[in-house]
Structure 1
């Protein structure tokens, strides 16, 4: 599985957010770190084809994720930081079926696949459950099951641990480790990426670090500590 950003620039409403970025990603586990406003979420949305670059192109496994949306849906899936921004249907079954119907499945086949997906994850009893009754962790889990049902080869996770308590976070971490798909994870927490194959560090829309997780995370953490010390010593009234 290979993700290619070729001379990509993203400037919504003329505001520079990302780029120019040229990078090729083929590792199984890839992490992306950076401060708020560094371009991480824009990178993930470009990768999933949810927004269009102003310059350059994004290819995932030879699929142009903007021009070929149907192929993109079965190639790359994305899970947002806030599941409430992703869940739109009143029941769990309908939520999973929606993505499958976008792939061209009939309503009957989509319902069957949704039931199989829930059964596989020991959640068959969720099929008719109202999505509004799910906890934050359960809503994250539903979003992940909805994406997995579509069988993408790459899954993009945008701050998947945000808002989760420690037990739920640990459960999600263990579950993600079992997935065969290529995982590209955006997070503020370097600890979650220490066993990843590769890490990118974004700053002001540019890749300023790229390499083995241990090397990049060490540099990133040191820079964050340095910035924190500068903030602590600054005069708040200045």
Structure 2
């Protein structure tokens, strides 16, 4: 087992990557809920941390129970969440100080694609992502059509985003993010709302991206343990901390055993109370 928060086996020393150093996230709250700790300031609740983590692997999964802090952890990587203390560095850039540059290099895919699809049609949404690299409208339109074709959405350029299926919307959201050429791609439970066929399509696509020129690193949260087991590295988050850190299959095995042990413990307490 790798020490929680430490470099995973085989991580190249000194390589550019993601660095969270002494990070904590405190949010306003009347009182800590079950399993939560008070924050560093009065009236705050600690939802994450302290976290000390270096990530250089191409594929990293983040798993854990609802409310464990998974989404908060990955949202630190493009400054959607700002740490209350500590620092977050993304390939040499400080997320708090260099926020614009970090967001330009870190693509984020949400669970619900309608959160990030902002244009009326599929083609227009892709074109919006291409404005920085394709100044000519004709060039943008041609590039958008090519991207839609590449992502299995050919012929849908003029289709309203509301007339697309859930799987098509998620592929479109992913294509729009990839059009910006991110160095790091973060996906927060990207297949939760999809049927099995679209789930497998999106998972296969995501896992194929690192090292192919689309992005250098993929970080994703998921409740699909088979998907998590395919990651080179997997972080198990519990109570806002890294409870386990290791290769995907090992971390999933550890997580299953931990959940089963806690369930058995609750069952035993219930029986004693009776």
The verdict on a shared fold, with TM-score over 0.5 as the criterion, is: yes
Gaps of 5+ in 1: none
Q: CA RMSD in A?
A: 2.2
Is residue 15 of structure 1 aligned with residue 30 of structure 2?
Answer: no
Residue pair 1:73, 1:150 contacting (<8 A) in 2 also: no
Structure 2 counterparts to residues 178-217 of structure 1, below 5 A: 178-180=208-210, 181=215, 182-217=217-252
1:3-59, Cα deviation, whole Å (9 max, x unpaired): 111111111222211111110000011111111111100111111211211111211
Of residues 214, 217, 228 in structure 1, which corresponds to 2:263?
228
Between structure 1 and structure 2, the one with the greater Rg is 2
- The whole-number CA distance in structure 2 between the counterparts of 1:148 and 1:119 is 14
Q: Does 1:131 align with 2:146?
A: no
User: TM-score, length-normalised on structure 2?
Assistant: 0.78
Q: CA deviation at 1:164?
A: 1.2
1:35-184 matches, cutoff 5 A: 35-101=65-131, 103=132, 106=135, 108=137, 110-180=140-210, 181=215, 182-184=217-219
User: Do the aligned partners of 1:6 and 1:57 also contact (CA within 8 Å) in 2?
Assistant: yes
Write out per-residue CA displacement over residues 56-102 of structure 1, whole angstroms, 9 at most, x where no aligned residue.
1211111223333332233111111111222222111222233344x
Q: Does 1:2 align with 2:17?
A: yes
**Unpaired stretches in structure 2, ≥5 consecutive residues:** 1-15, 29-43
TM-superposed CA distance for 1:118, in Å, is 1.7
1:51 match: secondary structure: coil
> CA-to-partner distance for each residue in 1:190-229, whole Å, 9 max, x for gaps?
2112222111111111111111222222111111122333
Residues 97 and 107 in structure 1, CA contact (< 8 A), matched pair in contact too: no
Partner deviation per Cα, 1:99-137 (whole Å, 9 max, x = no partner):
344x57646254444233223334331211100001111
Give the whole-Å Cα distance in 2 for the aligned partners of 1:228 and 1:19: 25
